[in-house]
Structure 1
């Protein structure tokens, strides 16, 4: 039995109705029905228009309810004001999915927005899934489905294209045909009032015809759903994305076009890296990447070697590498020695590898072969300029033959036109990316290497920091609740540092003096020298306002500084409320680097962690990298490496390298803070001084706000943290301890071995077939989950120090957001020992706590043991109306 995806009526309809069909060549309805006929739709096609009896020989009916066949899909192209009533008729006729191409909705003003809401409400009432409105439609070449008003269709292929812009879809389709690029799906979302990126991505994950996915994004509505689906897709298929609105003007245009919010571009970029996605910036890059996908690139890393017969083009390529932070590979001594054996004495002896203007096909082939074998090289760019004694086509033939067995990316740049045209054509036929100039060739390699890096980021699932001293979350909450009860959102420095201390981040202890005498007493208690700073909730830049004094070595200096600070602040900020003057020890770290660690709240993706250079130059140099929490050590190191200041954290001049573990510790603890304290809006630790002995937060400001109660404690996060709090232990009567915990990506080998050992009967009941072991794509799908829309628990025992999986259960939330589908399987030797009931108890309780209303199951009718088991759990069973070999079960989760 093959389970159908719930969007099957949209993507694989057996019957389609065109509402507004016409034979007028200038009408959308006319283009629509011609496209369906020319594409050779394999199902039943009906026209609906009260003005015609037939349209291009297709039977035409007055209304949807007159069609003598239940339709899976309708495509509507009539005026916006007619569509709510048409949608109601579709509901009465049992239609399952609808595409609304018409414009005149929310993009046109308040009246259109009201029509859009009405249309959506009617569709939801009748359980019709809606694509659009104001979209181009959908194309499925394999099925002969072209439900768009684009001029022309698409070739069959393996690329799934999802776009918020219909115009962009038409441009890509126009380019694709002459370039022999085919598609499995082309989907234009339009306003995406119902079906959005998330659900389309989830469908393409399961679609065997789709091998890679392209997205054009103007804005997103549901960050959690978007990230969940994006990460799920990128785990099994290459995903490439263009996002517009990178600058304020573009952002405003995108908002007016789609009605969706667009977050800060740096944050969006961080989200894409974390999702394992390749980000592109131009249509040219998209087309180049499409060709690269068809060449089945094998990304290895980002170290590029350049082989050229001209020094100038090689330098051009190297410059572009520097722009994009692509390191030039350092050739090994062995490779240099090998090249010395056959290259002229005047060759460059480095990278770029200049093999001189008289290079022939053999010299190119031998050089590229030697460079590809170098372990320091992750890819090769081969450049040719058509010089008098060279045969560009012969060189192309040699490289094509060599590339067949290469395990690293090879990109070519044949510069010129007439003399190199045939060579470029041969590269295109062989599926080897080729360019006219070096810069776009380097850009393509940067995208491929970014894919390699981002895939490593994708695989990171931050686990609990349970090996560290636990934070005092309760004391941190009390600090926040006290401030909010006093109607304060800006925590003072002492409160901010109290939160850091609660999460074990080292701080410079701070006290507040409210008189000059008190300042002297406190300074003597702390120990001279001290730092004094104004304590005011409305003054962010204390130094600029004259509110800071450093390295005060005497009590007389402390007394004078107190008065000077108050007088200086009164001049610069006469209306600022002042709590007093904060006093803390002067941190003397001669080898210290001043850094900044912060948190901002993005309107789309929620909390974002920032890192970069600190001190007073933070806003001048703007050296900042951002990452989405939660972090783990790998992600923290990647965040650090993404800044320019990272190069100064190692041994630098006379200073020893910093204690990198201490810096990573601070980032991990800040990540934990924003996960566990949803009230936090911003954190600004500046400076965080780090040297060879550790890190200390010298200054900190935290802003908080009230939050609405949520069933999910991590509802404020775009990426759900690993739910370590759901781990439990269960001891068997014979003393065997079983750990039941959420599944992790690292469990892939455990899962494969577990399934391999199942009996054929158990495999059949769980997977509906008797496969010997899990395919890699399925392993990824089962072990790398998002913990939000799905949950899986594994039962683990320790056998002689080795973890062994003995059972697994899981649920996935249905599109309605109210119910979930579950599955469970237990090792054959653990049957009848209560493990299945224990696992299901944990799963049911988790689904109930998440606010889900129902748990559904699909069971084979002949699986009597399972039917008896779920009945005992309270499931109500019924027959599947479409398949008598299957029974359906429903368990109500809420009272």
Structure 2
């Protein structure tokens, strides 16, 4: 199996350490590396020259990794020695001496690394720790406990703080890494590696400065689709940081990750997402033995959009009264005033867990000399291991209560010191669920909807740009929006007094602007006047949008939560959704639009009216986004332009289209319906269906870097009165290889649809798309006995080579960076 190019850093198979100070790795090289490690310690330039005169790097091959910790004035000398056999990767650790010219040092080492095709972390990088390998390639004297959380930081010192905290609370790490001062191995690439690392169950990121918004969002979306990702970012108001922080938060939300605002929240969220089960919603119930602590919890909840008070059913309330006895407060919160026993606590929790209206439970226990706290906590810890819903605990107090929190933590139940931190942890769990719903949304045009008139829109914009105008006339802006079916009625100011903002009829606005990191963003807010938006207003999102995303954007906005929720009729809400969808489509297809503002949008009882629209253009039109890969956007839209309606030679209609997440069930049915021979030819096994992980991997595709196509036909759905449903008859996809420059393809055609040209069509489309994504090559492994597949591939121009590791297989591949 091909190694990821970052494996040289995360899992080195050979190592050279050169230092003029004592390093932990020099004192205890991991056993698996002992034979392939060269240690070179010296105390002066003269001693290094003497050492290198005798020293030889034993292996004839390049070392996977070099770790250097030397004074700045000795660095050039050490790198000259390494030029004999340059390593695949290099880490430059910090030294006591401050560089006289740090910018020059950075340029020098980056140039050296690129000249010798060597990955670089540093200068002044923390390095890396991999506890399960006993690998400590840093100056930190303590190796973290082994665990399942990876921590990645742009700050070396903050990373060490997180590690110290993790050791203190017995939270084990799978990896700890920081990048240093030169951007060579960048943050998105590290995230992508950790997404596929089977030692890592969750990822914590600290970042401040950002590079490519597309690459960052793509990497986080890839990772968060399979494991929780937490993000802490500092310097919100710093003028040195590019990009609006609210746009950054929207990008993280759409990427399915959880953003935390403060250092302590990162710890709480890590504990919760590492230990607790994941909720299916934000309806929480609080159970405790003190009115004060439960009140503090609900006070801290505020107007969080992620959390809400659960309403217990009548049966649940009756059962709680029976369990807790006279004097208890039964409801939400539920409070036991009598000394609580372990049996009562567990029976109460079971009632709440079984209630369909409850998604998660927060247990608040204050010190009570009448309770047997030890027994209560032990029973709680035992139940936590099997509870089907997340239970987060706050045990208030310090010296006498700390052991009880540790007991729960070790049992896999997150326990916190204060109601506020416990609530923050619960919010992280619920934010994770909410953001995951956003992550899997796609904008898919409905077959019965009127298509956008893109040619007419392009003609209108090209005319303005040729005339070197940066602003469209209002009439032109209205025509442009009409090309994209933006469902508003245009009126002149004062035309219809029935819809006057001054008379108190509510008005909203839609604003689109561009962020230097994440591209176009869309805000929904109060209209009728110029509004200064609060940083706490979450009524902002990135295109593309579908109906669900547009609806959530509206519901998150301050104007909806505080003013419109009880006023706006459902059909008006739907109209607002459609307007937002259409505006998002417009700015997705035309990168030249820098600002778009529709204000005011007046909400009547039956219609939505708009009085003014302003559109500002970038004078550089650029190429079509379909040719450039929508590189002006942080999120690659679903490539609906690849949808084709086709017919077989016998006139049977079929559709070629990119796969979607909701195709999972149909894809599983397709695989189950294959003959044993077809399944074996494709998967080289007798597997009867895809595993959940494989199913997710094939149907959730980042179209920025991959492609999956299906061929479908319409068949009667007997379970739904014979109405037609789509059935998959063919699948073709490629997934990016670990080297980042090539991809592995796969092709499978239903037994009843072979020998009809379907495989050739799908494979030709794959090759065409791989070239557009500028992949260097595309490859696949095919059974040597699968003559029809080998014939198809060679007829398309692919090369048929022996597989070096398995004579029963053939490597069938094609270089893509040259003409056919």
State TM-score, norm by structure 1.
Answer: 0.82
Aligned equivalents of 2:156 and 2:362: distance in 1? 35
Cα displacement (A) at 1:747: 1.2
Please name the residue that 2:720 is paired with: none
Q: What does 1:759-774 align with in structure 2 at a 5 Å threshold?
A: 759=675, 762-767=678-683, 769-774=685-690
Please name the residue that 2:634 is paired with: 718
Q: 2:600 aligns with which of 680, 687, 699?
A: 687
Are the structure 2 counterparts of residues 100 and 435 from structure 1 closer, same or farther at C-alpha, using a change threshold of 3 Å?
same
Cα displacement (A) at 1:686: 1.2
Aligned equivalents of 1:216 and 1:277: distance in 2? 13
Aligned equivalents of 1:588 and 1:178: distance in 2? 58
> Does residue 205 of structure 2 align to residue 215 of structure 1?
yes
Please name the residue that 2:117 is paired with: 127
Over the aligned positions, Cα root-mean-square deviation in angstroms equals 3.4
Compare 749-758 and 199-208 and name the one that shifted more.
749-758
The alignment partner of 2:205 has SS state of strand
Are the structure 2 counterparts of residues 81 and 799 from structure 1 closer, same or farther at C-alpha, using a change threshold of 3 Å?
farther
Please name the residue that 2:227 is paired with: 237
Aligned equivalents of 1:296 and 1:175: distance in 2? 19
Please name the residue that 1:661 is paired with: 574
Cα displacement (A) at 1:863: 5.1
**Maintained 8 Å contact 1:737/1:797:** yes
Are the structure 2 counterparts of residues 121 and 21 from structure 1 closer, same or farther at C-alpha, using a change threshold of 3 Å?
closer
Please name the residue that 1:8 is paired with: 7
Please name the residue that 1:97 is paired with: 89
Cα displacement (A) at 1:185: 2.0
Aligned equivalents of 1:133 and 1:64: distance in 2? 25
> Does residue 727 of structure 2 align to residue 842 of structure 1?
no
**Maintained 8 Å contact 1:101/1:136:** yes
**Maintained 8 Å contact 1:687/1:698:** yes
Please name the residue that 1:670 is paired with: 583
Please name the residue that 1:176 is paired with: 166
Please name the residue that 2:398 is paired with: 417
Aligned equivalents of 1:771 and 1:81: distance in 2? 60
Please name the residue that 1:303 is paired with: 283
Are the structure 2 counterparts of residues 591 and 441 from structure 1 closer, same or farther at C-alpha, using a change threshold of 3 Å?
same
The alignment partner of 1:69 has SS state of coil
The alignment partner of 1:687 has SS state of strand
**Maintained 8 Å contact 1:64/1:89:** no
Compare 643-652 and 63-72 and name the one that shifted more.
63-72
Aligned equivalents of 1:701 and 1:40: distance in 2? 65
**Maintained 8 Å contact 1:304/1:329:** yes
Aligned equivalents of 1:88 and 1:793: distance in 2? 50
Please name the residue that 1:563 is paired with: none
Gaps of 5+ in 1: 256-260, 511-529, 532-549, 554-584
Aligned equivalents of 2:669 and 2:770: distance in 1? 27
Please name the residue that 2:549 is paired with: 635
Cα displacement (A) at 1:681: 0.9
Aligned equivalents of 1:442 and 1:586: distance in 2? 43
Aligned equivalents of 1:813 and 1:350: distance in 2? 52
Please name the residue that 2:455 is paired with: 474
Are the structure 2 counterparts of residues 485 and 147 from structure 1 closer, same or farther at C-alpha, using a change threshold of 3 Å?
same
The alignment partner of 1:381 has SS state of strand
Cα displacement (A) at 1:153: 1.3
Q: 1:605 aligns with which of 498, 505, 518?
A: 518
Aligned equivalents of 1:893 and 1:726: distance in 2? 22
Q: 2:811 aligns with which of 887, 890, 895?
A: 887
Q: What does 1:368-379 align with in structure 2 at a 5 Å threshold?
A: 368-379=349-360
Cα displacement (A) at 1:748: 1.1
Please name the residue that 1:649 is paired with: 564
Cα displacement (A) at 1:464: 2.4
Cα displacement (A) at 1:803: 2.2
**Maintained 8 Å contact 1:88/1:122:** no
Q: What does 1:418-817 align with in structure 2 at a 5 Å threshold?
A: 418-507=399-488, 509=490, 531=493, 550=494, 592-616=505-529, 618-619=531-532, 625-647=539-561, 648-652=563-567, 659-705=572-618, 706-709=620-623, 711-759=627-675, 762-767=678-683, 769-800=685-716, 801-813=724-736
Gaps of 5+ in 2: 717-723
Aligned equivalents of 1:474 and 1:99: distance in 2? 52
Aligned equivalents of 2:28 and 2:812: distance in 1? 36
**Maintained 8 Å contact 1:50/1:63:** no
Compare 33-42 and 710-719 and name the one that shifted more.
33-42
Cα displacement (A) at 1:125: 4.1
The alignment partner of 2:23 has SS state of helix
Cα displacement (A) at 1:333: 2.5
Aligned equivalents of 1:380 and 1:662: distance in 2? 37
Are the structure 2 counterparts of residues 847 and 495 from structure 1 closer, same or farther at C-alpha, using a change threshold of 3 Å?
same
Please name the residue that 2:794 is paired with: 871
Compare 407-416 and 78-87 and name the one that shifted more.
78-87
Q: What does 1:280-359 align with in structure 2 at a 5 Å threshold?
A: 280-322=260-302, 324-325=304-305, 326-356=307-337, 358-359=339-340
**Maintained 8 Å contact 1:386/1:416:** yes
Cα displacement (A) at 1:398: 3.4
**Maintained 8 Å contact 1:793/1:809:** yes
Q: How many residues align?
A: 803
Aligned equivalents of 1:756 and 1:743: distance in 2? 18
Aligned equivalents of 1:724 and 1:86: distance in 2? 54
Cα displacement (A) at 1:268: 1.2
Aligned equivalents of 1:63 and 1:496: distance in 2? 76
Cα displacement (A) at 1:126: 3.7
**Maintained 8 Å contact 1:49/1:63:** no
Compare 655-664 and 635-644 and name the one that shifted more.
655-664
Please name the residue that 1:226 is paired with: 216
Aligned equivalents of 1:389 and 1:216: distance in 2? 44
Find the structure with the greater CA-based Rg.
Answer: 1
Please name the residue that 1:151 is paired with: 141
**Maintained 8 Å contact 1:39/1:153:** no
The alignment partner of 1:618 has SS state of coil
Cα displacement (A) at 1:399: 2.5
Aligned equivalents of 1:239 and 1:552: distance in 2? 50
**Maintained 8 Å contact 2:122/2:179:** yes
The alignment partner of 2:427 has SS state of helix
Aligned equivalents of 2:533 and 2:681: distance in 1? 63
**Maintained 8 Å contact 1:51/1:62:** no
Q: What does 1:186-265 align with in structure 2 at a 5 Å threshold?
A: 186-191=176-181, 193-246=183-236, 248-249=237-238, 252=240, 255=241, 261=242, 263-265=243-245
The alignment partner of 2:512 has SS state of strand
The alignment partner of 2:358 has SS state of coil
The alignment partner of 1:17 has SS state of strand
Q: 1:164 aligns with which of 154, 174, 196?
A: 154
State TM-score, norm by structure 2.
Answer: 0.89
The alignment partner of 1:37 has SS state of coil
Compare 842-851 and 697-706 and name the one that shifted more.
842-851
The alignment partner of 1:177 has SS state of helix
Please name the residue that 1:69 is paired with: 60
With CA pairs under 8 Å and 6+ residues apart, which has the higher RCO, 1 or 2?
A: 2
Are the structure 2 counterparts of residues 551 and 811 from structure 1 closer, same or farther at C-alpha, using a change threshold of 3 Å?
closer
**Maintained 8 Å contact 1:505/1:697:** no
**Maintained 8 Å contact 1:307/1:383:** yes
Cα displacement (A) at 1:102: 5.1
